[in-house]
Amino acid sequence: MQSVYLLIVLAPLLGAIVAGFFGGHIGRNWSHRVTIAGVGISAVLSLWVLYQFIWQDAPTFNGAVYTWLVSDGMQLEIGFLVDRLTALMMATVSFVSLMVHIYTIGYMADDEHNWPEGARTGRNSYQRFFSYISLFTFSMLMLVMSNNFLQLFFGWEAVGLMSYLLIGFWSVRESAIFANLKAFLVNRVGDFGFILGIAAVAMYFGTLDYAEVFAKAPELADAQLALFGGVSLMTFICVLLFIGAMGKSAQVPLHVWLPDSMEGPTPISALIHAATMVTAGIFMVARMSPLYELSATALSFVLLVGAITAFFMGLIGLVQNDIKRVVAYSTLSQLGYMTAALGASAYAAGIFHLMTHAFFKALLFLAAGSVIIAMHHDQDIRNMGGLRKYMPITWITALIGSLALIAFPGFSGFFSKDAIIEAVGDAQVFGSGIAWLLLTLGALVTALYSFRMYYLVFHGQPRMDAHTRSHLHETPWVVTLPLLALAVPSVAIGWLTVEPLLVSNWLGEAIYVLPEHDSLHHLAAHWHGQLAFITHGMMAPPFWLAMAGLVLATLVWLVLHKRNPAIDDQIQQKGGWVTRVLQDKYGFDDFNQKVFAGGGIRVGRFLWNGGDRTIIDGAVVNGSAHLVGQLAGVLRHLQTGYLYHYAIAMIIGLVALLTLFVTL
Amino acid sequence: MLPQFPWLSLVVWLPIIGGLAVIANGDKHPEPTKRLALAISVATFVASLPLWILFDSGTAAMQFVERAAWIPAIKVQYYLGVDGISMPLILLTTFITIFVVIAGWEVITYRPSYYMGAFLIMEGLMVGVFSALDAILFYFFWEAMLIPMFIIIGVWGGPNRVYATIKFFLYTFFGSVFMLVALIYMFFQAESFSILDFHALELGLRAQILIFLAFLVAFAVKVPMFPVHTWLPDAHVEAPTGGSVILAAIMLKIGGYGFLRFSLPIAPDGSAQLDWLIIALSLIAVVYIGFVALVQQDMKKLIAYSSIAHMGFVTLGFFVVFAILRETGSAEGAAFGISGGMVQMISHGFISGALFLCVGVLYDRMHTRQIADYGGVIHTMPWFGAFVVFFAMANAGLPGTSGFVGEFMVILASFRADFWFALLAATTLILAAAFTLWMVKRVVFGPVGNEQVAALTDLDRREALNLAVLAAATLAIGIWPKPLVDVMEPSIQHLVQQVQVSKLPAEAAAIDHDATVMDLAAAHAN
């Protein structure tokens, strides 16, 4: 099996190397062929691995590939842990990535127009883009398949690097290179906590191997640290690791990089938001469930951060006019749902939502990209309208994605999101009440922003200029094929997988839940099939709120908008300070820019001018140099020019120092 | 036992004699002279390979030992040998020198023979520093090494080179005087100049502390540690590219090496008493210097400050040993920090060397190092831009590059000593990324800044080869550091054993120890 896993990881890497280094020689077609082949191999083999787990009951694989370093009793290895959780992630990541690869052929076809005349970076940008997204896939697969914290951190940082390169892909744009630096640095703030968490694991467990750490965890369940006036070791480790997850999975307050990541070409938005990168944090916490279960404090923290992100980030989506930014804020909100599920110990529900979301979010982004292609790269939804007539496939698939996103009964998102809200409602940890309220209200918000966007883009009167309208047409098959391929799981995957994932505990050993934390227990105990689940869901507040949102959105942005196209602006103006707060994104960006970025530079200037230049160089170094200069004026008389005089002086000096030394 | 082939002498003297030959060849026919210099640097690297291939990594004992009387009157010996700590540093020296020779190929037009000769001579002297086991021989190489560097900066340096050379020379010379005194003091105690005899020397705590401080002044200047670091940015800014590469990649490592070869094993009790000082200075280097690097306008200064911050990791890794022994009561994890510091030294050699070469590539074309004079370089120099981004990421400690390995190990080790040490050290994840990538953003990315940038040409073969080999080395150690660490491990384990054993004279130990602890505690309280 190991060679299969190696192939799954290395195939995209190889494709990336070929397209990256030799893209100029082999040309565009061979570059996308070789990378698609690489990711295709990964996808097919990953699906085969998943098949082995589902129907052949394959055993968990845990083995080292090579020893990275041995020092001082610590053996650090590179290796794979493939169990059902991993297999599910591998299949999701590689499948979504494959769709994005195919889509990219269409999306990046005219990329040379995005570069200024004469820029050599524009020459092979198509090939380079394929190389990057393949490398991105490699990084994410390394992350999810790791069997130890070291490799996890490698994958963790590697996806960070790839997002840096991809967000800043159009490196002539100031906004792009601002966004990629911001993304990397904000992620590094999370990694700062993450690496300390890993260091704590290394110290207290004496190993970085998952299996050994998990086996030893119960022994250390009650360990206390003397730090901060006494804190449980598990809480300490779990919170530090979660800070890393807050960076990668964009939880408040480390969410600020994700909306800006829209500066990259749309295919990578789909990749970052759906399959790679942002899911890393969710996956990591689920993987670490044997540790998180031992700290109710950490779970509460996770739960509250998730719920806050889910609700408040969704609200921002209401006032965005850039089609990609609306989807971006919906990602933040949905990541909040997943995180909240983890905090409620409903890890399986979190992973379930991760998977359904990967499909419908990739779908929504690729549909948005399809719209952007048709609109000649105008992304403002106020300039769109009526696109359903021109691009029927994009329209239908976007509708499917939106329905899945708002948890319309029967669609994939319905099963996963409803399960999360129910689990949080059943959870006993501190804060679950308020978290439940936020998540439930979030259902209304989700429906509002999703269908505001949907109606403004696809319905009503076309508002684009005549030139654009005359060129409107459906995008080519390389774009629409991935849309259709993603639409299928967006509809069906929830219905198909809800029972094994949430009821019959298919993930099994991969997830560890203490009986008293088991918030999915209620759902499993009262399981009477998918239909019963749907009808049961239709009795509950989240459903009613979502439907209220849908109806309200239809009324405002479909019915009223027809008579009064300015209604969207009028509502936003009526919002007054609320709109302003939302448009300012609660002030996080301004605050970070002023306090952290500006403050860091001010501190640096202060230390440099005050410390290095004034005190050390100014007073001490040059001061003593002046002193020496003055002394030298006196001592010049001693200068004779005879070598032996100097020699004697040196020896006398040395002897004097030595005497001092000995007598001290 | 058969007398072994004198590999070490070969590696020391081949470049020195070869360097003299290059100088003697003169500048009438620069091409053959340069080729000779390249041949000598490659031959020296090849000659140093047996040190690695034939190295027995199962023992901590000195290997390739050569020993002969030199000045019998004062028992000074010609005594060379290497262990797992010095051998990798010697290979780093012979490896990096090749790039320096190649980097100066077309750029240095004024007396290239002297330029290359000076570098070759310096190479031999630096190998001598790493392999000398006699204190006077060590001191000879240590001081002699300054002369070629002084000349390189002074002759081929920038407009402010006189200030920089004098600052460089005085700083380092000031440091080494105290070291010489300590060495002579120990000679009177041990009646030998053998460094290994110094290791075995029983010394009172007071003497150990004084010896430690004397060495500290010498090594802290070389590393350089805060607050004696300000010579480095000035020296870098004025030095020609090759000088900067040697300075950053190798000369700084001599300070770190000194701590391991002298301070820790000779004065373990003194080191244990004063480890808080080194740890504090190291953490200041990481945080304070990280902020200072952020606001630099000159690329070389920025990388120089980045070097100081990264060398802070080295000294931190070396000195958390004592805190680990105290905190956990066991040596477990103590060697991890020293290994981490060593890996960091080697890695920093590749990365900082490469970054200075990158700045050199730009400087050769535009004759400015100001960040503000650039912008959008990647659009005219895509290959160069790719290398810069790669080495910047390595500098920011990205896993998969060598820059990660040492930092990771040191953070893990310092966590064992104290959570707060690890916390402050880990700020480098943010700070190093911020100052490095912000520079990359302003220099490499963005719209093309001006006409000169628009007219730039990408790397030529020579430059690309240089950077590609260094990139390969950076990746190799990042992906598989085991071979490097395996070589060092026995010597580092041996060193940890050495520092655990008190060298205080038995009867005096108890009293002396208590007295000084109280003195220090009182001083601390004040």
Mean pLDDT of chain B: 90
Answer whether A157 sits within 8 Å of B399, measured CB to CB.
yes
CA A589 centroid distance within chain: 18
From A122, A153, A605, residue closest to B399, measured CB to CB: A153
From A73, A181, A191, residue closest to B429, measured CB to CB: A191
Q: How confident is the model at residue B523 (pLDDT cuts 50, 70, 90)?
A: very low
Closest CA to A226 of B422, B524, B336, B420: B420
d(CA A435, CA A300): 10
d(CA A350, CA A336): 10
Chain B touched by A230 (CB under 8 Å) = no
Q: Mean of the pLDDT values across residues A588-592?
A: 88
Answer whether B167 sits within 8 Å of A165, measured CB to CB.
no
pLDDT of residue A520: 85
From A177, A607, A662, residue closest to B441, measured CB to CB: A177
Give the β-pairing of A74-82 and A224-225: unpaired
The residues pairing with B134 across neighbouring beta strands, listed in sequence order, are B194
Give the β-pairing of A74-82 and A61-71: antiparallel
d(CA B128, CA B124): 6
Residues of A in contact with B333 (CB under 8 A): 72-74, 203
pLDDT of B509 above 60? no
In tens, the pLDDT along B301-350 reads: 999 999 999 999 999 999 999 999 888 877 778 889 999 999 999 999 99
B409 → chain A, closest CA residue:
A199
Q: Mean of the pLDDT values across residues A542-568?
A: 90
From A68, A174, A199, residue closest to B482, measured CB to CB: A68
Distance from CA of A158 to the nearest CA of B (A): 7
pLDDT of residue B484: 94
B168 → chain A, closest CA residue:
A621
Other Cβ atoms closer than 10 A to B305: 28
pLDDT of B515 above 60? no
* Stretch among A37-46, A312-321, A604-613 having the lowest mean pLDDT: A604-613
Owner of token pair 């220090």: B520
B477 → chain A, closest CA residue:
A68
Q: How many residues would you count in chain A?
A: 664
From A73, A196, A603, residue closest to B422, measured CB to CB: A196
Peptide bond into B447 cis (omega under 30): no
pLDDT of B2 above 50? no
Q: Which one-letter amino acid corresponds to residue A517?
A: H
* Stretch among A272-286, A352-366, A560-574, B30-44 having the lowest mean pLDDT: A560-574
Question: Which positions 179-208 of A are in contact with B (Cβ < 8 Å)?
Answer: 181, 184-185, 188-189, 191-192, 195-196, 198-200, 202-203, 206
From B188, B399, B482, residue closest to A69, measured CB to CB: B482
A66 → chain B, closest CA residue:
B480
pLDDT of residue B466: 92
Other Cβ atoms closer than 10 A to A317: 25
Closest CA to B495 of B342, B347, B344, B343: B342
Higher pLDDT, B469 or A584: B469
Q: What was the ipTM of the complex prediction?
A: 0.92
Q: Percent of chain B beyond pLDDT 70?
A: 95
CA B425 centroid distance within chain: 19
The residues pairing with A231 across neighbouring beta strands, listed in sequence order, are A225
Which ranges of B295-333 would DSSP assign to H, the alpha helix? 299-328
Q: How confident is the model at residue A640 (pLDDT cuts 50, 70, 90)?
A: low
Distance from CA of A181 to the nearest CA of B (A): 7
Compute CA distances A472 → A366, A378, A468, B399, whole Å.
Answer: 17, 12, 6, 46
Q: How confident is the model at residue A654 (pLDDT cuts 50, 70, 90)?
A: low
Q: Mean of the pLDDT values across residues B207-235?
A: 91
Q: Mean of the pLDDT values across residues B471-476?
A: 96
Mean pLDDT of chain A: 90
d(CA B41, CA B47): 10
Output phi, psi for B194, to 5 deg: -70, 130
Answer whether B291 sits within 8 Å of A658, measured CB to CB.
no
Is residue B448 within 8 Å of residue A116, measured between CB atoms? yes
pLDDT of residue A632: 66
Distance from CA of B478 to the nearest CA of A (A): 9
Question: Which positions 370-389 of A are in contact with B (Cβ < 8 Å)?
Answer: none
**Does the predicted TM-score (pTM) go above 0.90?**
yes
Answer whether B181 sits within 8 Å of A661, measured CB to CB.
yes
Higher pLDDT, B430 or A634: B430
* Stretch among A22-36, A346-360, A497-511 having the lowest mean pLDDT: A497-511
Distance from CA of A318 to the nearest CA of B (A): 32
pLDDT of residue A643: 55
- Backbone φ/ψ region at A198: left (φ over 0), alpha (ψ -120 to 50), beta: alpha
Answer whether A612 sits within 8 Å of B292, measured CB to CB.
yes
From B177, B181, B378, residue closest to A121, measured CB to CB: B378
B439 → chain A, closest CA residue:
A181
Q: Percent of chain A beyond pLDDT 70?
A: 94
Answer whether B379 sits within 8 Å of A119, measured CB to CB.
yes
Is residue B222 within 8 Å of residue B278, measured between CB atoms? no
The residues pairing with A209 across neighbouring beta strands, listed in sequence order, are A148
In angstroms, how far is the first alpha carbon of chain A from the final one?
70
Answer whether B398 sits within 8 Å of A116, measured CB to CB.
no
Q: Mean of the pLDDT values across residues B407-435?
A: 94
Owner of token pair 């002030």: A587
Residues of A in contact with B376 (CB under 8 A): 171-172
pLDDT of residue B29: 85
pLDDT of B517 above 50? no
Owner of token pair 């208590």: B514
Residues of B in contact with A174 (CB under 8 A): 446-447
Answer whether B389 sits within 8 Å of A165, measured CB to CB.
yes
From B178, B376, B427, residue closest to A172, measured CB to CB: B376
Q: Mean of the pLDDT values across residues A62-91?
A: 92
d(CA A126, CA A132): 10
From A154, A189, A654, residue closest to B184, measured CB to CB: A654
Answer whether A200 sits within 8 Å of B210, measured CB to CB.
no
Compute CA distances B184 → B69, B70, B129, B211, whole Å.
Answer: 18, 17, 18, 11
Owner of token pair 């994605």: A401
From B170, B335, B385, residue closest to A71, measured CB to CB: B335
Q: Mean of the pLDDT values across residues A385-399?
A: 92
Other Cβ atoms closer than 10 A to B10: 17
Tokens of A236: 């300490």
Answer whether A195 sits within 8 Å of B441, measured CB to CB.
no
Other Cβ atoms closer than 10 A to A545: 20
Is residue B170 within 8 Å of residue B151, measured between CB atoms? no
pLDDT of A361 above 70? yes
Question: Which positions 641-660 of A are in contact with B (Cβ < 8 Å)?
Answer: 654, 657-658
pLDDT of residue B25: 86
pLDDT of A186 above 80? yes
CA A601 centroid distance within chain: 27
Distance from CA of B225 to the nearest CA of A (A): 13
B454: CB partners within 8 A, 6+ apart: A118, B380, B448
Answer whether B429 sits within 8 Å of A202, measured CB to CB.
no
Residues of B in contact with A77 (CB under 8 A): none
Distance from CA of B53 to the nearest CA of A (A): 20
pLDDT of residue B294: 94
Is residue A166 within 8 Å of residue A137, measured between CB atoms? no
Question: Which positions 159-178 of A are in contact with B (Cβ < 8 Å)?
Answer: 161, 164-165, 168, 171-172, 174, 177-178
In tens, the pLDDT along B95-152 reads: 999 999 998 888 888 888 899 999 999 999 999 999 999 999 999 999 888 888 888 9
pLDDT of residue B361: 94
pLDDT of A629 above 80? no
Is residue A467 within 8 Å of residue A375, measured between CB atoms? no
Chain B touched by A663 (CB under 8 Å) = no
Closest CA to A435 of A422, A449, A424: A424
Q: What secondary structure does DSSP assign to B180-193, as a single string?
A: HHHHHHHHHHHSS-
Is residue A607 within 8 Å of residue B292, measured between CB atoms? yes
DSSP state of B3: P
From A120, A164, A199, residue closest to B412, measured CB to CB: A199
DSSP state of A619: I
Answer whether A604 sits within 8 Å of B293, measured CB to CB.
yes
Answer whether A621 sits within 8 Å of B230, measured CB to CB.
yes
pLDDT of A531 above 80? yes
Answer whether A116 sits within 8 Å of B227, measured CB to CB.
no
Chain B touched by A605 (CB under 8 Å) = yes
